Amino acid sequence: MEAGGKDMGGALDRKVRVLLADLFYVNNLTKNRLCVPLNIGYINTYVNTLYEHDVDISLYKDVDLLLHEIGQTKPDIVGFSFYYWNQNLNYFVVERIRELYGSDVLIVFGGPSVDSDEAEQMKLFTKFPEVNIFVEGEGEAGFAAIVNRAFGGKAELYTSPIDCSIFLHEGQLVRGENTSTNLD
């Protein structure tokens, strides 16, 4: 891994910008009920433990704050916690990212709504074609493996399976080894 990482196509002279989102429907009734995003907090801590000098990670619950940040500066990777109840909100943000930056931003969905069945995983790629990679199971190891692979640039990203991750390559499902990480 090179210091500063690599862009999806070339070397960076800065840290890789990673945004993690556990989006919540915010309105006047719910705005004071925002809770700590423990799920993406764990991923943030794990990735920072491995790559703190190479990544700059920000966490978001509020979709408006996330959209504002995305509009200000292009992220390199955006990871979303994926639940059935927030999938439409997530995809709304993904569509905005694609409108602004095309395919230059790596989009990752992970969480309990990523099924372990291959047929169901193919359905996810059909339903969410703008998502590059889904993380199966616990997110820490899978997301860290994606970040590590992304340091090599877009040409390196899909060359072989990525642990705990699923992506399409030439229309075929590619599944990484489902490793477990002892975080205790």
**CB distance 128 to 94 below 8 Å:** yes
DSSP secondary structure, 129-141, as one string: TT--EEE-SSHHH
8 belongs to a structural domain: no
143 belongs to a structural domain: yes
33 belongs to a structural domain: yes
The number of distinct structural domains making up the chain is 1
Q: Show the beta-strand stretches assigned E in the chain.
A: 16-24, 55-62, 77-81, 106-110, 133-135, 165-169, 172-175
In the predicted structure, residue 56 carries a pLDDT above the cut 90: yes
72 belongs to a structural domain: yes
**CB distance 99 to 127 below 8 Å:** no
Q: How confident is the model at residue 137 (pLDDT cuts 50, 70, 90)?
A: confident
Q: Which residues contact 90 (CB under 8 A, 6 or more apart)?
A: 21, 23, 80, 82, 109
127 belongs to a structural domain: yes
**Domain assignment of residue 101, given as a range:** 16-175
Of residues 35 and 168, more confidently modeled: 168
181 belongs to a structural domain: no
Q: How confident is the model at residue 20 (pLDDT cuts 50, 70, 90)?
A: very high
4 belongs to a structural domain: no
Tens digit of each residue's pLDDT (9 = 90 or more) over 91-136: 999 999 999 999 999 999 999 999 999 999 999 999 999 999 999 9
In the predicted structure, residue 11 carries a pLDDT above the cut 70: no
Q: How far apart are CA 147 and CA 172, in angstroms?
A: 22
In the predicted structure, residue 47 carries a pLDDT above the cut 90: yes
Over residues 61-77, the mean pLDDT reads 96
Over residues 1-5, the mean pLDDT reads 35
| pLDDT, averaged across the chain | 88
88 belongs to a structural domain: yes
In the predicted structure, residue 157 carries a pLDDT above the cut 50: yes
CATH of the domain at 118: 3.40.50.280
Question: Which of 143, 79, 64, 72 has its CA nearest to residue 101?
Answer: 72
In the predicted structure, residue 34 carries a pLDDT above the cut 80: no
